[in-house]
Amino acid sequence: MKLVVLLASIALCAGSALPVIPGDNSHYVEGVSRYIWMDNGQGTPQLVDLEKPVDELALAEAGDGAINQYWLFTRRNRVSPQIIVNGNVTSVHSSMYNGARVLNVIVHGWKNNGSSPVNTMIRDAFLTHGDHNVIVVDWSALADQSYNTAVRGVVDVGRHVGNFVQWLINTGGGNWNRVHLVGHGLGAHIIGNAGRLALGHPVRVTGLNPAGPLWGNNNDALNQNSGTYVEAIHTDRVTGIMDPIAHADFYPNRGMDQPGCEMSNSCGHDRAFELFALSVTRNNFIGRQCINLDEAEGVTCTELPMGNADLDKRGNGVFYLTTRNAWPF
C-alpha cells in the first residue's frame, strides 16, 4: 500500500513539474500533467498551464460565437473570400453561394485563423474535388486567447456555427444531407457541438486530431451524435484524444510518431489535416479494421478509406494504416 502511495506521489509531482525544454512533452500524462507544450500557431512551442484560470474578461469580449466570421470560397473565387454575415440576407444573395452545391465547412484550431494552412489546404482540396461551397470559419478572436479560455468558449462557438449553417440553408438553399463539417484540434470539438446543437444534422463530420488536453471524458467533445457519419483521424497522442470517439476512428502510424515529424507534437498534430486534404483529392488512404494493433500489418482486416469527400461514406470501428514521411505520404 505504501508503494502505491509513493508511486502516486511521484506521478503527481512529475505532473506538476515545470518542463524546461521547449517542445519536449516526454513528461506529459493526460489527466495528470499540469503543463504541456503546444504550437503557438507560428511553429514555435508555447508552454500551456492546464490549470490556469479562464480569463473571464477575454472570454466575454472574444468568446461569443456571434463574432465568428464566415468566408465563402467557390471555384469562381478560389482565393479571395466573400464574407457572409450571419443574418444579412443580402450578403448571401449577392455572393456566389449556390444551394445546389455541396457545402463544406472548415474550422481551425487554437492559435490559428482563417488564413492558416489547415484552411487553405483543405479549401483547395475541396475545390479541386468538385464545384463546392466552402465556408471557412474564422474564430481567431477567441482562438488567440489562452488555451483554457479558448476551450471554455468552444461550445458557444460551435452553437453559432450550427445556427449559421441552418440560416445559410434557409436563406440560400441546400440541405443537411449535403453538408460536411471538418475541424482541426479545438475546431473538431467546435464542429462536434455545431452538429449536435443545430436544428439539422450534418451528413458527415470529420475531426482532425481532435484536441486532447482538457477533453478527456468531456461531454462537450466531438462524438457520434455530432452527425450521421462521424469520423476522427488521430495523429498525435499528446495534443490529441487517443480514445475512439467517432463512428470510425483512424490511427495513421498508430496515431503517434508520424514519419518525418521526429517526435514533434506540432508536426504530428498538423499531419492530420495534411493527410485529410490529400485524401479529398486522391482518396488513397485505406484503413484496416483489426482486432488489435499488431494485426494491422496483416491482410485479413476489413478496409475503409480514410478521409475523402464522399457524403455517402459509412463505417464503424477502429482502423489503422501506415503512411510515408513526406508528401504525398
Long-range CB contacts (< 8 A, 24+ apart) of 288-293? 288/319, 288/320, 288/321, 289/317, 289/318, 289/319, 290/318, 290/320, 293/254, 293/320
pLDDT of residue 89: 98
- Options 2.70.98.10, 3.40.50.1820, 3.40.50.920, 1.20.1560.10; which CATH number does 68-321 get? 3.40.50.1820
21-40: string of b/e by CB count within 10 Å (b at 16+)? eebebebbebeebbbbbbbe
pLDDT in tens, 92-151: 999 999 999 999 999 999 999 999 999 999 999 999 999 999 999 999 999 999 999 999
Q: What is the pLDDT of residue 7?
A: 36
Average pLDDT, the chain: 92
C-alpha cell at 148: 483554457
Picking from 106, 164, 102, the residue whose alpha carbon sits closest to that of residue 133 is 102
Quote the CA–CA distance of 140 and 191 in Å, as a whole number.
Answer: 15
Query: Among candidates 57, 60, 166, 158, which has minimal Cα distance to 109?
Result: 158
The pLDDT assigned to 263 comes to: 86
Parallel, antiparallel or unpaired: strands 69-74 and 133-138? antiparallel
Omega before 328 within 30 of 0, i.e. cis: yes
* Domain boundaries, given as residue ranges, for the chain: 68-321
Which pLDDT score, from 0 to 100, does residue 327 have? 87
Q: What is the pLDDT of residue 202?
A: 98
User: Which residue ranges in the chain fall short of pLDDT 70?
Assistant: 1-15, 63, 290-300
Q: What was the pLDDT predicted at 78?
A: 97
Q: Which pLDDT score, from 0 to 100, does residue 15 have?
A: 61
Q: Rounded to whole angstroms, how far apart are CA atoms 220 and 154?
A: 8
Instruction: Count other Cβ atoms within 10 Å, centred on residue 107.
Output: 32
State residue 58's pLDDT score.
87
Provide long-range contacts, Cβ within 8 A and 24+ apart, for 77-84: 78/123, 78/124, 78/127, 81/114, 81/136, 84/135, 84/168
Predicted pLDDT at 11: 43
